[in-house]
């Protein structure tokens, strides 16, 4: 995997939020899910930039839903992680677990 192929931490958080939200994965809930699960406050524009990057890398796909009255007739853009995106997440998880292995005592202060 090259540096260009790598997926950064924030991009991983965005993809994981999409997976957690399933059929309700669009902008605002993605922001809220990241905050709820990590405690990190993220800006909507940062999430939208990451979504665009992930879509450019073909790690997620998107589609426009129906317009809704509560959004003033604007449609929501929904997101889904692709098979390639799932594989990248799996690769990243495996690499991180290998790096963490054996460091529990050092990181926990024992």
pTM of the predicted model, to two decimals? Answer: 0.86
pLDDT one-digit tens code per residue, 21-41:
999 999 999 999 999 999 999
Domain locations along the chain? 9-100
Contact indicator for 42, 35 with CB cutoff of 8 Å: yes
CATH number, span 9-100: 1.10.10.10
Of the candidates 68, 89, 86, the residue with the CA atom closest to the CA atom of residue 24: 68
**Alpha-carbon torsion 87, 82, 2, 31, what sign?**
negative
Give yes or no for residue 100 having a pLDDT over 80: yes
What is the per-residue pLDDT for 5? 67
Mean pLDDT of the chain: 90
């Amino acid at each position: 995997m090259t540096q260009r192929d790598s997926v950064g931490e924030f991009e991983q958080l965005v993809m994981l939020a999409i997976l957690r939200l399933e059929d309700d994965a669009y902008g605002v809930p993605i922001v809220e899910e990241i905050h709820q699960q990590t405690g990190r406050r993220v800006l909507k524009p940062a999430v939208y930039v990451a979504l665009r990057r992930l879509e450019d890398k073909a790690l997620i796909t998107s589609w426009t839903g129906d317009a809704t009255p509560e959004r003033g007739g604007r449609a929501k853009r929904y997101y889904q992680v692709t098979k390639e995106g799932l594989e990248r997440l799996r690769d990243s998880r495996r690499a991180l677990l290998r790096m963490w292995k054996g460091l529990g005592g050092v990181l926990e202060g024992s």
